[in-house]
Structures are given as structure tokens and as C-alpha cells.
Structure 1
Amino acid sequence: MYQKTVLRNGIRVVTEKIPYVYSVSTGIWVGVGSRDEQEGERGITHFIEHMLFKGTRRRSALDIAKELDAVGGFANAFTSKEHVCFHAKVLDRHMPLVVDVLTDIFLNSVFAPQDIEREQQVVLQEIRMIEDTPDEFVHVLFQELFWKQNPLGLPIYGTAEAVAGTDRESILRYLSQTFHPEEIVVAAAGNLEHDHFVDLVAPSLEKLDHSVHRPPREKPVNHPGIHVMEKDLEQVHLVLGLQGVSQSEDNRFPCHLLNVILGNSMSSRLFQEIREKRGLAYSVYSFLNSHADTGMLGVYAGITPENIEESLQVIRQQLDLLAAEPISEAELSAAKEYLRGSMYLNAESTDSRMNRLAKNEFLFGRFIPFEDVEEKILAVDAKSVQSWFQSVYDPRDAGLFLFGPTGHTRESVEKIFLAQG
């Protein structure tokens, strides 16, 4: 059962009671992410995410860890382009403890200078780790090219220079300017009573009174084009990107189904054509990066240099085919079952249910029943999938990035990719 309460300062509290489970997953969400950072603040949201577990006026970092360990629970946090979330999961009888810990770190973290200095080294190691993982780093580089001149295209972790320049004063200033009550959603799912949960969170969170609003987000403009970056690696990492869908537009359902058919499952066209039939790549998939106001439909493949030309040709052929011919009813039906099955399997996790509560509140301001989503998925026909893809697909509007020992120039890649069809 879903319930919602708005606290006096505008913080929204949403819960879903699941009486047959033994746990409660709780998250404090803020509708602020790396795309909301100004010049000179790059990476500060992610850095604050790290710092909120380093001690409060009542608890040291060790105290926080020991209290949750003592009840078999765990806490964590994450930062995305549009949100930061601090969350924890415990047995239902320990819900008061987890609420006390989360609200304490959210409101009362001390940000001691020595902890900031120590955590800067940790985050710098995280940045280096990502840059040493080319199949992850290529996506960071590609987004910077595809959404250049917009913060949405910049990495969540910021830059080494910005992280090194973060201090206590800049953290406190950023918090006062971004963690506005009306941008905060507290979500909980599990075996709980809504009114009891509100009674636990309200006394502390209603004291938050930050009044500064950030400037509105600027929707990014796509920058298509072909780019090649030589790097001494074992593989060439290829990313292709097209206009996708936002998280709330109606076309998200045809787009998600097309993504499953194109490359987001083992039976997908790209997986079968590139890996199974030709052995051109071990890792190949399509993906969706959806945000509040835009999105990207993309393809990734890790290939050897000698397979670049054939891989590009197959990718182009499969994209052309999706635009030219409606998908079969059998393929569409299988994709619908894939999405429906994924949705309901995820629903068995209280963490997943908590995440879904918060995201629906940010996007739609209400709870979206699973049955409504299922109905939308089942209503999609082959023609609407094709029509949506035709509206966004033009090879000249694609972004294409090759990273590794390519042995190619931009012109030679352009000739291979755009000469197809």
C-alpha cells in the first residue's frame, strides 16, 4: 500500500507497505546531481556523498558502521547526473535505528578538514580506477563529446583538480544552495506503517530550511560526429549514440522495447549477429541513458582492430533494418515479456521498490502501479516501435567514438560507417 505525506517545509515522504517481507529499505533522496553543478564545483555532489559517512556531532564513522553492523543492516549512497541518495536496509524492527542514522548523517555531518583531506585521496583513486577501466571510461569520454558544452555530458566524479580544491566551506555553501527541502524525497519500502515512519523522520527533517534555489537545468544539444582516440589497449572500445527518450515521455515504451530487441538481451539482434554468428566481440550490447529531459540510445562493442570494419557494417545494417522494416510479432512479444519479467522480478527487492517510489515521485509526483506500466508495455505495437525509431534515426545524426589501437582515422571510419545502407 502506497502513502504520501508532505512535511511542513516541503519534504515529501513516500512509503509502500509490503507486509510479507522482514525488511525495510529507506532512502533520503535529493533531486540534485552532477548536471546541477556550476563551474568550479565539478564532482562536489559525489564528494559530499562520500563525506556524509565520515562522522556527525553524535557519531564517528566507526560508530555509524558498528551500529548498522550490529543489527545486520547496511548503508550506502550513490550520485547520478540528477540525484544523490543516502540509503540503508535493515530488518523491520530496526527501522527507528536506520532512520536515526540516516537523518543524523544527512543533517549533522561535521566535514572535518582531516576527513576531507583523507577522502580526497580516496576519490582521486576512484577517478584513476575508472580511467584504468576502458570499457567504462569510453562511456565517460563519449558523453563529453555527445553532450559537450552541457554539464549532463561531464563525469559524475568531476576532475582531479576540482576534487583537490574542495574544502569544508565549499561543501557547506553547496549544501545550503542545493539541498532545498522541496528537492528532497524520503522513500521507504517494506514491512512498515506510514504514520509511524513519518513520526520518525519529521522531527529532525522538518528543521531543514535551506531557501536558495539553483538555476533551472539547460537541456543539452546533441553533437553528432565521428571521433577516434588512439590508446595503447588490448581492444578497441566502440560507442555509438543516437537521440533517445526522457524518463517520462510516452515514447519511452517503444524505445525500451526496441533496446531489448537491438542489443539488451542475449537473444537480441546485435548479440546474435556480432557475437554468436560472427565471433567479432565478446562484449556487445545496446543501452539507454534516460534523464528528466532527454536521453540517449547507444551501442557498445569491445573489438579487435581487425574487426572494426565488419563490426561497424553489421551495426549499421541492423540499425537500418529496424528503421526499414517492422519487427515481427514474435520478436515484439518476447521483448514485452522480457520487460515485464524484469519489472516484476525487481519488485521482489525492497531496495528496488524504494528506488522506484522516489523516482516516480520526482518524475510524476505520484505512485505508478505496476499494472499501469504493464498495460503501457503490452499496448505497444510493431508499427509504433518502427515509427519512433524512424523519427530519431539518421546515421548522420549519430555520434560514433572509437577508443583504443584503432589504426584508423576519423575519415576512414566515416567512410566505413556512412557508406553503408
Structure 2
Amino acid sequence: MFEENQIQYKLPNGITLLYDKVPGNKSFIISITTLAGSRDDFKGKSGLAHFVEHQLFRRNEKNSYSKIAREFERTGTLYNAFTEHEMTLFFLKSLNEHFEKVYRLLTDFFICPVFDAKDFQKEKKIILEEIKSYQDDPEEFIFDLGNEVLYPKNPLGGIITGTEKSIEKIEMEDIREFFEKYYFPENIVISFVGDIPFDQVRDISEKIFSDYSKPKTERVRAKLPENIVRSKVMKKSIEQSHILLLRRFDTVDAEFSLKMRLLSYCLGESPSSMVYHNLREKSGLVYNAFSNLEQYTDTNVLQLYFAIDKENIDKSMKILDEIEEKIKSKKISRELFTISKSAMIAQHIYKLEIPYEKMMNNVKEYQLNGNFVFRDDFIEKMKLIKYEEFSDFAAKIISEQDWSGVKLLQR
């Protein structure tokens, strides 16, 4: 009988199980993830990984989508799926008493899928509408353009949902081939968070997946394009102009990424941050401004976004230049550094008290590092970062290259 709260276990067929015990919870959350996403789309067929996600949800040998939906709703189960650049994740949240029943419904998407021609055409129409909805959202749209600028002619620069042109090129055989190629056991991660005993989760998982096998595929991803400064300007019928500044770093070790996360927080992830404070609170130029660190397995992107009236773009860029000079001169205030570290530690703890966030954190950390990253590990490593060390790091990072950028301007 296992008693550890966090266990990483390999099923006999090669699937990884991440178990995270939360004592006292009457509900659980579980996800099944394949470590393949839009970055693995076949050439000329962007949106394929996302299309496969839609098809798997549509039906399987045991149930149609409507029957699956009714069974989930009958037990009060919440469920969904999504595709990212490097993963496709299916999850559900339900009461402990329904664990095996709803877990089996989820695993049927993988174990006995049916790729039906009529469903294929229906999903194609749905996805085309989804693409249009993203194009109508300038904040969503500009981040798609950002990846395109940083990773041109590379799947990582493609739009996760695909384009109308690429979706029309996808055929049923592509769906089957992608599923067979990337949904093999060693590429699948199950992440459980709840109070059901580990041996019960393990035994049921082993029983369900006992006959699930596919040949392991050697992943060959396109080489990343040269990391140089690029820009893109577009005009659209919108009320505000949207600006996205980007810096790409092809360094992904844990210490570097932790400091990058702290730099992003100091830049624009809180009311006290340099960009938010100066663009909004001090100057009143924007309503929405934030920064973010997007992490992939072999590259990182520091993103800085704000929406503004086009008449004030030059003023805002001048303020950002002043902020950049402060960082280069190692003048990030000690107070901001201390506040940011404390806030990040607190928010990390808050996040891991929410089962969904805990589940997602475990999958993401496994994807990036191959193992759990325990809460206390993060806290201790964050505490060890010294002000002088961080100031030197931030100055070096900001001095190394200029920002790439995307401007989505008002007509």
C-alpha cells in the first residue's frame, strides 16, 4: 500500500501515471495527455492535432458523443479537451463514487476510437467556425501572429486550430495516421489529483489499458529557425490597437526558466510591475497590459502585451524604452524584486490548492522536466535567488537583443 502524496508510476505498457493525493476531497480530477500537439502537425496541414482532438471526442466503438455527454451529465461530471503546441489533453472532474465509470468513458476516446466520414465533415465545419471566432478576437489573434513572427515556416509558428486553407487539405487518413503515430503508450501521461487511494487508481488504470499498445514513434521535429529580430504590422477594423513585443530564448534549463519567470513577473504580471504601473497607473495610457513567459521543451518566449489607442503608441514605446534602460542599468528596485518573489511563492501555493491547476502543473512539469516538481522545491529555489544575481541576469537578458514585435493597428 503506497502512502506518498505524490507518485510517478509507469504502467506495464509504458503509460506514465502522475498521482497527487489531496486528503479529504470528495471529488477528483483526471486527465489523459498525449505529448503531441500542433507542433507535430503534418507539413501543410496545420490544425491536424487539434482536428484529431475533435474527432476523438465525437464517438467511439461503445458510445456516440450524445450518449457520452448524457452519461457525464447524469453523474455531474465536468469534462473538456484542448490542444496546445506540444500536447493534447482530455480531462474530467467528478465525484469519487463515479471514478471507475467516468474514467472508463474518458479512456474509450483512446482505446476504441471511431473515425467516421460523416463526423469528419461535421467537425470540419465546426473547426472552421472556431477559427473565425479567434480571428474576431484581436487579443487571441495577435498571439497567433506572434508565434508566426518568431518561428516562421516552422510548425511552432503555426496556428493551433489551423487556417481555413490548411483545414480543407486535411483528409480522414491524416486523422488516423496522426493518431497511430503519436498516441502510443510512452507518449501518454495520466494525471490524477484527488483522495482515491493510489493503488486503486493504478490497478484500474492497468486493467483499462492492459491491451493498449502501439509502436513507439521516433519524434523528428523541424529545426527551429534562426533567432533574429522580426516584426509584423497589420490593420484591422478594431477599437484599439494591440501591441505584442517578444523575445525568444533557446535556453530551457530549470534555473534559467525560473529567473525568466521572475523577470516576467517584475515586468508586467502585477499592479506593482514596471510595465503595468508605468503604462496604466502612472500614465493612464492603457487599460490592459501584461507580460508572460511561454515555455516549450526547447525554447522560451518572453511576451509583453498591451492594447492602446493608436495615437498613444509612440508615447507608450518611449515609456517602454525607459523601463528597458532601467533594467539594463541594473535598476530594478529591490522592493519590486522582493514583492515579486513573495507574490510568486504565494500564488504558486494558491494555484496548487486548486485541483485543476495542480493537475495542469503536474502535466506541464512532466512535459518540460520529465518528473514532478514539488511545491517546496519551487519555494526553496525561488528564495535562493539573490537581488544582485537577478539584476545581473535581467540586464544581460534585456541587453542581448531587441524585441521582435507585432502591431495590430486600427484602420
Instruction: Tell me the TM-score normalized by structure 1.
Output: 0.92
In 2: Cα distance, 1:245 partner to 1:25 partner: 33
In 2: Cα distance, 1:302 partner to 1:286 partner: 12
> Structure 1 residues 162, 243: CA separation in 2 closer, same or farther (over 3 Å shift)?
closer
Greater alpha carbon shift after TM alignment, 1-10 vs 92-101: 1-10
Letter in 2 for 1:199: D
Preserved CA contact (<8 Å) 2:289 2:305: yes
Cα deviation code 1:245-279 (max 9, x no counterpart): 76643112221112111111122111111111111
3-state SS in 1 of match to 2:91: strand
Deviation of residue 396 (structure 1)?
A: 5.1
Deviation of residue 61 (structure 1)?
A: 0.7
Equivalent of residue 320 in structure 2, options 301, 311, 315:
315
2:41 matched to which residue of 1?
37
Cα deviation code 1:335-371 (max 9, x no counterpart): 0121111111111111222222222323333222111
Deviation of residue 239 (structure 1)?
A: 0.9
Matches within 5 A, 1:19-168: 19-168=23-172
Q: When the two structures are aligned, how many residues end up with a matched partner?
A: 406
Deviation of residue 330 (structure 1)?
A: 1.9
Letter in 1 for 2:386: D
> Structure 1 residues 341, 62: CA separation in 2 closer, same or farther (over 3 Å shift)?
same
> Structure 1 residues 132, 395: CA separation in 2 closer, same or farther (over 3 Å shift)?
farther
1:187 and 2:209 matched: no
1:214 and 2:219 matched: yes
In 2: Cα distance, 1:26 partner to 1:247 partner: 28
Letter in 2 for 1:90: S
Cα deviation code 1:355-409 (max 9, x no counterpart): 2222232333322211110011111122222222233324853202211137xxx
Preserved CA contact (<8 Å) 2:330 2:395: no
Letter in 2 for 1:360: E
Greater alpha carbon shift after TM alignment, 164-173 vs 115-124: 164-173
Equivalent of residue 243 in structure 1, options 243, 248, 268:
248
3-state SS in 2 of match to 1:35: helix
Equivalent of residue 324 in structure 1, options 306, 325, 329:
329
Gaps of 5+ in 2: none
Preserved CA contact (<8 Å) 1:138 1:403: yes
3-state SS in 1 of match to 2:243: strand
Deviation of residue 313 (structure 1)?
A: 0.6
> Structure 1 residues 277, 328: CA separation in 2 closer, same or farther (over 3 Å shift)?
closer
Equivalent of residue 204 in structure 1, options 204, 208, 220:
208
Letter in 1 for 2:326: L
Equivalent of residue 233 in structure 2, options 228, 252, 256:
228
Deviation of residue 138 (structure 1)?
A: 1.1
Instruction: Tell me the TM-score normalized by structure 2.
Output: 0.94
Deviation of residue 299 (structure 1)?
A: 1.1
2:7 matched to which residue of 1?
3
Preserved CA contact (<8 Å) 2:142 2:244: yes
Preserved CA contact (<8 Å) 1:24 1:92: yes
1:300 and 2:305 matched: yes
Cα deviation code 1:49-83 (max 9, x no counterpart): 12222111111111111111111111111111111
In 2: Cα distance, 1:210 partner to 1:249 partner: 32
Cα deviation code 1:137-192 (max 9, x no counterpart): 11111210122122111111112122223333221111111112111111101011
In 2: Cα distance, 1:246 partner to 1:158 partner: 27
Cα deviation code 1:73-132 (max 9, x no counterpart): 111111111111111011111110121011111221212111111111111111111111
